[in-house]
């Protein structure tokens, strides 16, 4: 974890229980225990990453992102590979517990993903998506 860069005020709960690569964290983040954050991951300011999340190389979190417990990002459509896809999570996105996000997607500003969902498509801004595969929640 010494190789990562941490913004001012970022806190880790029990870092010895996590695997933190050469990632860059913004300021005032809270990272819970038992998370995996790989090399070349970028985490914005004021993000909250709950326990048991998996962020492989290529994940980019904007500011004020919430990841519930057990969120899993993937970065390879056809493993094993060394050419990983980038997944972008824009500002103010909230992702519920045990969500799986396929590689190469963009979750736009302010969207919400319901617990247990599997995200297979880009998500438009300010929409709520749920299910497997995730679908837009209608009013």
Q: With 90 as the cut, is the pLDDT of residue 132 above it?
A: yes
> d(Cα 11, Cα 50) in Å, to the nearest integer?
12
Question: What are the structural domains of the chain?
Answer: 1-139 (2.160.10.10)
pTM: 0.93
Question: Confidence band (pLDDT; 50, 70, 90) for 6?
Answer: confident
Biggest alpha carbon distance in the chain?
A: 47
Tell me the mean pLDDT in the region 35-57: 96
Q: With 90 as the cut, is the pLDDT of residue 80 above it?
A: no
Q: With 70 as the cut, is the pLDDT of residue 52 above it?
A: yes
Tell me the mean pLDDT in the region 48-69: 97
Q: With 90 as the cut, is the pLDDT of residue 3 above it?
A: no
Question: Confidence band (pLDDT; 50, 70, 90) for 84?
Answer: confident
Note the pLDDT of residue 106: 98
Q: With 80 as the cut, is the pLDDT of residue 81 above it?
A: no
Told to judge if 32 belongs to the known catalytic residues of this protein, a careful annotator would answer no
Per-residue pLDDT of 115-128, as tens digits, reads 999 999 999 999 99
Strand partners, 67: 49, 95
Please give the mean pLDDT across all residues of the chain: 93
Q: With 90 as the cut, is the pLDDT of residue 16 above it?
A: no
Q: How many CB atoms lie within 10 A of CB 71?
A: 24
The secondary structure of residue 115, as a DSSP letter, is: T
Q: Is the peptide bond before 133 cis (omega within 30 degrees of 0)?
A: yes
């Amino acid at each position: 974890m010494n190789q990562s860069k941490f913004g001012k005020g970022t806190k880790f709960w029990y870092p010895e229980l996590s695997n933190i690569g050469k990632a860059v964290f913004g300021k005032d983040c809270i990272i819970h225990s038992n998370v995996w954050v790989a090399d070349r991951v970028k985490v914005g300011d004021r993000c909250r990453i709950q326990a048991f999340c998996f962020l492989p190389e290529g994940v980019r979190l904007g500011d004020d992102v919430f990841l519930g417990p057990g969120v899993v990002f993937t970065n390879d459509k056809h493993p094993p590979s060394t050419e990983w896809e980038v997944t972008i999570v824009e500002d103010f996105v909230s992702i519920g517990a045990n969500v799986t996000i396929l590689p190469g997607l963009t979750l736009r500003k302010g969207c919400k993903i319901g617990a247990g969902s599997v995200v297979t498509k880009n998500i438009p801004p300010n929409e709520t998506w749920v299910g497997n595969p995730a679908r837009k929640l209608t009013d």
